[in-house]
Chains A and B, each alone.
Chain A
Amino acid sequence: MFITPKPTLLWLQAITCNGNTHSFLNHPDLFSILSHFEIVHHPSLESSYTMEDVINGEVPCDVLILEGSFIDEGFLKAGVEVSSLIHTYATKAKHIISAGTCATFGGIFKQKDPENISGFCFDLEEKTSRYDTYASKLISLPGCPMHPKWMSYVLLMLAANKKIAIDNLHRPVELYGYTVHTGCTRNEYFEWKIDTKNYGLKEGCLFYEQGCQGPYTRGSCNKILWNDISSKTRAGTPCFGCTEPTFPKASLFHTQTNMGIPAKMPLGVPRRAYLTLTGVVKSFKIKRFTTRLLEYDE
């Protein structure tokens, strides 16, 4: 019987905290997903080749997963520039997945040396010099970290030879076509402009005071829940916008306002439309939204 060989998968790390590696290890179906591939090398899973083989450029690679920010010179592994390793395998690969915001846009590690550190194919939202070479096989999975199920979606689509629809920054539309605001359990409070009185409460929305970036951050955190249970905003912490090219920003727990008007509008919503609507909404006091959902014993 003829058996088609499994596609080979190589997970390469550049400047990273391992966050995306760890995030993916939390996938409840990790091994069933990986069973569609031959893991040629992975930073923390058993694999068929050693790091030495990888460095020697000898390893096959159909799917390359990149984790961590990119720098042309000065970041070495075993005396070899990681950038050259990445180029070697990016050339070989049929698909390149940039896992996390660092590999995609530059992210946290870009802060160390903003001039020279960036994502592999994007520097914030700008295309890097590498973009044209690799764009045809690139899939972006920003997030700090990316959600494990975003990765499994991409891997299983690739394993099934299915086409993945992407946007202009190469993010799968299925995952990033939404904003984080979509599906948040606080939507009613947002609609009626009721802010929460504190972090971690069930009642109120975090957009008006606590800095929630959900309405202008792309991602499906409130559709595909974290640990299959919850999300930041459901739990009562503002969304930090970790999937965006602009991540990280400062003062994440505070909404920047100009004379009380949020400095940043929900994605694609004109300011005049937003202000008209919220001015009207704010004029009504709806009792249900001003009372606790549950009365707790003091």
Chain B
Amino acid sequence: MKIAEKKALKRESIIQTALQLFSTNGFHKTTIPDIATKLQMSVGNLYNYFSSKDILAQEIIKYTSEALGEKIRVVNMMDVSAEEKIHKIVTVYFTMAQDKPEMIEYFLRVYLSNREVFKDGCDGMVCVSGFITEIMIFFDDSVSSGELRNQDFFSAFGLFMGYLGGMVFLKGEEVLPKGIEFYIDDISRNIYNALKA
């Protein structure tokens, strides 16, 4: 394996470990030595990859946003109706919340709750554009095909993503009486009904 490839793998494993620790123990309670210990590497070496905890936090949000964006991109490429795409996007989101809860938890509990960490470098949509771009493409396609009603981007985005985020938050708080996959059909229908032309 080439050195560059090795480094890329190491970088990714740091991101995944830090993601896990930040989302379970909280951003402020997790230290760089905690992450290094879990990875069995030295603190000094970890700093070779990420020069500060804030920068690591910013790279993680980019990483999760890209990962989610890639999955939605696959849905966007499918030749199916907007209604089906909504169902697929909701499924992607909830499946991720189920299988890799740290990904979504990170967004809700670290990214949205510690704005000061992200203010320099992750201004506005800079670090979440991988995900937002795919949602934009989904909206654009569905409005031009006449399936969804044309409106301001944020009124539609808030309805869609606020809803999904809220459900995952409730899941994290353990207040949902049923597993999150139980809600996929109803929520998809609600979103479609709210946005359809």
Task: Check if A280 sits within 8 Å of B126, measured CB to CB.
Answer: yes
* Chain A hits for B123, CB < 8 A: 283-284
Q: Are B137 and A282 closer than 8 Å at their CB atoms?
A: no
- Chain B residues touching A, range: 20 to 34
What are the residues of chain A within 8 A of B125 when measuring CB–CB? Answer: 279-280, 282-283
Judging by beta carbons under 8 Å apart, are A272 and B151 in contact? Answer: no
Interface hub of B153, B154, B156 (most chain A Cβ within 10 A):
B153
- Do A259 and B124 contact each other (CB < 8 Å), given the known contacts A271-B137, A275-B137? no
Write out the residue numbers on chain B whose beta carbons fall within 8 Å of the beta carbon of A271.
Answer: 137, 140
CB-defined contacts of B148 to chain A, threshold 8 Å: 259
Are B150 and A258 in contact, with the CB atoms below 8 A?
yes
For the complex, what is the distance from the CA of A124 to the CA of B39, rounded to whole Å? 64
Residues of chain B within 8 A (CB-CB) of A272 are: 133, 137
Cross-chain contact A260 with B132 (CB below 8 angstroms): no
Does any Cβ of B come within 8 Å of A263's Cβ? Answer: yes
Chain B residues touching A, majority SS:
helix
Residues of A close to B152: CB separation below 8 A: 259-260
Q: Decide: A259 near B133, CB < 8 A? Known: A280-B126, A283-B124.
A: no
Q: What 1/0 flags go to A262-293 for Cβ under 8 Å of B?
A: 01000000011001100110111000000000
Closest to A258 in B: B143
Q: In this assembly, does B98 line the interface, its C-beta being within 8 Å of a C-beta of chain A?
A: no
Interface centre among A258, A276, A283 (most CB of B within 10 A): A258
Closest to B131 in A: A279
Asked whether B129 lies within 8 Å of A259 as measured between CB atoms, the reply is no
B136 within 8 A of partner (CB): yes
Centre residue among A260, A275, A283 by max chain B CB count within 10 A:
A260
Task: Tell whether B144 is near chain A: CB-to-CB under 8 Å.
Answer: yes
Residues of B within 8 A of A275 (CB): 133, 136-137
Q: Which residue of A lies closest to B138 (CB)?
A: A259
Distance to closest chain B CB from A283 (angstroms): 2
Q: Which residue of A lies closest to B148 (CB)?
A: A259
Rounded to whole angstroms, the CA-CA distance of A263 and B129 in the bound complex is 19
Q: How far is the CA of A133 from the CA of B123 in the complex (A)?
A: 59
Chain B residues whose CB sits within 8 angstroms of the CB of A257 once the complex forms: 150
Task: Give Cα A284 to B148, complex, Å.
Answer: 30
Q: Which residues in B have their C-beta under 8 angstroms from that of A25?
A: none
Contact call B139/A258, Cβ cutoff below 8 A: yes
User: Which positions 128-171 of chain B face chain A at CB distance < 8 Å?
Assistant: 129-130, 132-133, 136-137, 139-140, 143-144, 148, 150-154, 156
B129 and A261 within 8 A (CB): no
**Interface residues in chain A, defined as those with a beta carbon under 8 Å from any beta carbon in chain B:** 257-261, 263, 271-272, 275-276, 279-280, 282-284
10 pairs of residues in contact across A and B, judged by CB atoms under 8 Å: A258-B140, A258-B143, A259-B139, A259-B150, A259-B151, A259-B153, A263-B144, A271-B137, A271-B140, A282-B125
Q: What 6 pairs between A and B have smallest CB-CB spacing?
A: A283-B124, A258-B143, A260-B153, A259-B139, A279-B129, A258-B140
By a beta-carbon cutoff of 8 Å, the part of chain B in contact with chain A is 123-126, 129-130, 132-133, 136-137, 139-140, 143-144, 148, 150-154, 156
Known A259-B151, A275-B136, A283-B123; further 16 A-B contacts with Cβ < 8 A: A258-B139, A259-B143, A259-B152, A259-B156, A260-B152, A260-B153, A260-B154, A261-B153, A263-B144, A271-B137, A276-B129, A279-B132, A280-B125, A283-B124, A283-B126, A284-B123
